[in-house]
A and B are shown apart, each in its own frame.
Chain A
Amino acid sequence: MSAWSWVTQLLYVAAAVCFVLGLHLMNSPASARRGNQVSTAGMTLAIVTTFALVIHSGTVKPAGWAVMIAGTLIGAGAGLYMARTIEMTAMPQLVSLFNAVGGGAAALVAINDYVHVTGSTAGVAESVTIFTILDVLIGAVTFSGSIIAAGKLQGLIDGAPITFPGSRAVNFGAAAVGVGGAIYLLVSPSVPVLIIIILAALAFGVTMVLPIGGADMPVVISLLNAFTGTAVAMAGFVIGNWALIIAGALVGASGSILTKLMADAMNRSLANIMIGGFGTGDTGPAIEGPGGDVRSIQADDAAIQLAYAQKVIIVPGYGLAAAQAQHAVAELATVLEERGVEVSYAIHPVAGRMPGHMNVLLAEANVPYPQLREMDEINPEFPRADVALVIGANDVTNPAARRPGNPVSGMPILDVDAAKSIIVIKRSMGHGYAGIDNELYVNPKTSMFFSDAKSALAELTSAVKTLVG
């Protein structure tokens, strides 16, 4: 091993150390920014090292330089523009898009390597082919799957599960062609067969994500994130680069953990989500709850309850984000705090369209992060709360989850019904994603404030202010 190889490999190891440290520093909001800076430094180091390697190779033709630099600059410009302008509510789409391009780039690395190696007379070493094929398959599935996921989140594609006659068959067919082609390639290298398995993998990605409903997106994004990481690690095997292997493995681990957390929080198995079709809203039979009268409330009465409470816990759900009401809720909380009310937010793991999404939306609305409380941490505090204010959250508050025999059974929920009184802001008595009645709404302690989240919060804020005056 030459001195040059030693130095470049060590620099890659240093970059990998930065990635691990960067992720480690994300264990607290206070140090997370530094973590991102450390990670950025590692990435810069890795890219500069690679650039030095490219120069050192001495085989790059002018056209090669041109495409490399032009591609990088154009991509960097596009990435920068999107990162600067994206709305926080649209974060899941952006992450999905970055998964797509990351997976796509990883697949291209393998495709190029394969075409190059089969073109040479030496033939293909079997060990190289396995990783090449895995990289191509996973990368292509991630690419098309993530684009479909981003399209669904952006509303370009219907968010409801999409199935067409034979869609399941197409999905299985694509998987069969991909696996069959992969086995063929292990026996006899062939570029046309490689193209066939790329197309099969792209088709598989599309038919995998189309039948999955919008509310399952936190799981899907996490899973595709894990896929991208794995594809990048495979690309590392293909070109023999440790930095790619380590970085890919880290992302694969992160995506897997988040996938499991999200699936658990939704009380669904991964297989159940991937098979899809649940929660279409029209096929799920509505299971009747115990019934009972619903008490509705007006802004003034709700404001009095809130203003004279000692402790208020706000339970935001996706409906809050959908109504763009995160700033309105933060304003109400500020007014209440000025009166001496203790306010905190109970955040269910799947509140939002990706893991932790609600926290970012509230942080953007200037809510200090010590007020953002995780489910396990806040649940024991509900009995002490004078008012639990539920905004746009439904299934995650349904006490029916504690009983067996219904679609939400066993789902971890926020113990909202333990609060001394409950105010639910909701547009109508419509069902949540699970398609069942929420028993919380007929609880004698519960008052329903039927309104759009944003205008309801504005009314409450001004009513509380009037009380102060």
Chain B
Amino acid sequence: MTPDLLTDITIFVLAILVGFEVISKVPATLHTPLMSAANSIHGIVLAGAMLIAVTAHDALGYILAFIACAFAAANVVGGYVVTGRMLKMFKRTRTPVPAAAEPAAVSGNGQAPAATKPGGAA
């Protein structure tokens, strides 16, 4: 067993422990974005895919490099974009309701105190 390998294994084990520590603090509300974020992080495999191209000198190497780069790039770009899209939806307060949801018949009917009621239940 080489010292290099030992270093790699040490890093691996410590990173798993850091992962457990950090991720166990993520609230259940965010578990889908969390999984999506983790998804985009494993898109780092794009780095490995690009390095295939360095050693590719024949048709097989080129094919492997092409597929690996395409897979990994879809993973990393799609992952980050969709995570961002989801997180953008999480808002602390209700954004102004579209006009269609506020029928004219309802307005001005003694509901003024209710209108200021905070959304949060706690």
Contacts and interface: CB of A to CB of B under 8 A. Distances in A.
Tell whether A pairs with B.
Answer: yes
Interface stretch (A58-66, A148-156, A157-165, A295-303): A58-66
B67 to A, nearest CB: 6
Contact of B48 (A22, A244, A357): A244
A105 B46 contact: yes
A284 interface: no
A245 B75 CA distance: 17
B42 to A, nearest CB: 5
Contact of A253 (B19, B67, B75, B115): B19
Given A80-B78, A369-B91, A469-B105, A108 B64 contact: yes
B99 interface: no
B86 A88 contact: yes
Residue of A43, A108, A229, A238 contacting most chain B CB atoms (<10 Å):
A108
B70 to A, nearest CB: 4
A236 B30 CA distance: 28
Contacts of B122: 370
Interface string A73-112: 1111011101110101001001100110110111011011
Interface residues of B, number: 101
A355 B31 contact: yes
Contacts of A363: 86, 89-91
Name the interface size band of chain A. 35 or more
A325 interface: no
A95 B78 CA distance: 10
Contacts of B91: 363, 366, 368-369
19 contacts: A27-B22, A36-B33, A39-B41, A40-B80, A53-B51, A68-B69, A75-B74, A76-B74, A78-B78, A82-B74, A83-B81, A102-B42, A246-B15, A251-B19, A334-B97, A338-B106, A340-B111, A343-B121, A354-B35
Interface of A: 15-16, 19-20, 22-24, 26-30, 32-33, 35-37, 39-40, 43, 46-47, 49-51, 53-54, 57, 59-61, 63-65, 67-68, 70-76, 78-80, 82-84, 86, 88, 91, 94-95, 98-99, 101-102, 104-106, 108-109, 111-112, 115-116, 127, 221-222, 225, 228-229, 232-233, 235-258, 261, 311, 331, 334, 337-340, 342-344, 347, 349, 352, 354-357, 359-360, 363-364, 366-375, 381, 465, 468-469
What 3 A-B pairs are tightest by C-beta distance, nearest first?
A253-B19, A79-B78, A356-B31
